[in-house]
Structure 1
Amino acid sequence: MNHPEIIKLQKFLQRMFNNKNIDVRPRAKLNDSVEVFVGDESIGLIHVDDED
């Protein structure tokens, strides 16, 4: 995922869950997924599904 996509996803999640503490961060050396944090705690991964 590129930076604009990550920001868009982060804003969407913050709005959906009404929580400004949600932070979406790129994973080191992997560009097909991001890690989602609430504060300092990792709560999961989101993977890109680009198959049709």
Structure 2
Amino acid sequence: MISTTIILLVQQLGLTVMTEGVENIEQLNILESLKCDKAQGYYFSEPISKDEIENMIK
């Protein structure tokens, strides 16, 4: 699987692996099994505006 190779390569370089575009629990489970460091996508949250982020911080 190409994802496995990329994750291993990035980790061997001492970098953090960030996966984008995670849309469901199945994808997240696969990434967790591959020891992916971080993930983001619609599974966690739809995109939010700058104003929404600022309101969350306040």
Given the two structures, how large is their TM-score scaled by the length of structure 1? Answer: 0.29
User: Which is strand-richer, 1 or 2?
Assistant: 1
**Greater relative contact order (Cα < 8 A, sep 6+):** 2
Kindly name which structure, 1 or 2, has the bigger radius of gyration based on alpha carbons: 2
Given the two structures, how large is their TM-score scaled by the length of structure 2? Answer: 0.27
User: Which is helix-richer, 1 or 2?
Assistant: 2
